[in-house]
């Protein structure tokens, strides 16, 4: 395991869930962590908890804001975690405004982070750029439609990074989890009872499980690039099939 001491890690979507867990994991191994999200109160609370952290509030949908936040900084690790989904409408019944928010955050937001961070990483000749994808970017599921499209897009960004910028010292990784118990589902459904039922009688992944996968990838020796990590709960066999306890 390579040390993260003296390195700077930037995590977007750091106010909750996988992003917050990833920030904790990176900081626990010695990294100075830059915390980005829209909810500044949560970022401030997390920064207080960590040994070495800095708050950089931003909305990943705003390209200029993202670029300005890290201008002139050396970034050794970048983890693009910001993401969301809105509703479970069939595509023929969907809300184009929800589609726009999903694509702007999950796909364009990732591109904005890549565009802000990658030139400097290439110039310094090293670094880790990790994209938080999903098994939904590998298999569609009923009523997943635009969320699926956004995560297939993240996978395409990852493959494009390898084609366009691979072999120059920067490592690219996509981490694609299955069902993770976090605020994501509540934000998607807007109903605490409905969100709780999603995880009823099954053991989903935790944000910490995913954070450990990210940490594993970015602490390999410099000549090793863990390109793709797919994590499923043991009880989940596909994006639509989950074995539940009776």
Decide if 144 contacts 239 (C-beta within 8 A): yes
**CA-based nearest residue to 85, from 105, 112, 110, 60:** 105
Sign of torsion over alpha carbons 113, 176, 145, 188:
negative
DSSP-assigned letter for residue 180: B
- Please give the structure tokens belonging to residue 67: 């670029």
| Residue from 147, 152, 158, 199 carrying the catalytic annotation | 147
Neighbours of 57 (CB within 10 A): 18
Phi and psi, residue 61, nearest 5°: -75, -15
In the residue annotation, 158 being an active-site residue is answered as no
Distance CA 191, CA 33 (A): 32
Which strands sit side by side in the sheet containing 77-80, from one edge to the other? 53-55, 32-36, 8-12, 77-80, 127-132, 170-177, 228-231
Q: Which residues contact 166 (CB under 8 A, 6 or more apart)?
A: 172
Half-sphere exposure of 54 (CA within 13 A, CB side): 11
User: How far, in Å, CA of 244 to CA of 246, rounded?
Assistant: 6
Q: Which residues are catalytic, by number?
A: 147
């Amino acid at each position: 395991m390579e040390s993260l001491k003296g390195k700077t890690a930037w995590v977007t979507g750091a106010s909750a869930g996988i992003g917050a867990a990833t920030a904790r994991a990176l900081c626990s191994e010695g990294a100075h962590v830059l915390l980005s999200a829209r909810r500044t109160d949560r970022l401030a609370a997390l920064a207080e908890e960590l040994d070495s952290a800095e708050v950089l509030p931003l909305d990943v949908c705003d390209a200029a804001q993202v670029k300005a936040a890290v201008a002139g900084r050396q970034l050794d690790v970048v983890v693009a975690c910001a993401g969301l989904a809105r509703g479970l409408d069939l595509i023929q019944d969907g809300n184009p405004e929800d589609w726009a928010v999903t694509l702007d955050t999950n796909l364009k937001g990732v591109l904005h982070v890549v565009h802000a961070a990658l030139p400097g990483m290439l110039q310094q000749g090293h670094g880790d750029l990790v994209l938080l994808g999903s098994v939904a970017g590998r298999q569609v599921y009923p009523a997943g439609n635009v969320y699926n499209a956004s995560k297939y897009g993240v996978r395409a960004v990852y493959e494009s990074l390898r084609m366009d910028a691979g072999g120059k010292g920067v490592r690219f990784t996509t981490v694609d989890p299955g069902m993770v118990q976090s605020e994501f589902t509540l934000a998607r459904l807007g109903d605490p009872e409905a969100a709780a039922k999603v995880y009823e009688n099954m053991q989903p992944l935790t944000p910490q499980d995913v954070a450990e996968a990210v940490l594993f990838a970015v602490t390999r020796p410099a000549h090793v690039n863990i390109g793709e990590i797919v994590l499923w709960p043991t009880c989940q066999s596909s994006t639509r099939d989950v074995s539940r306890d009776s």
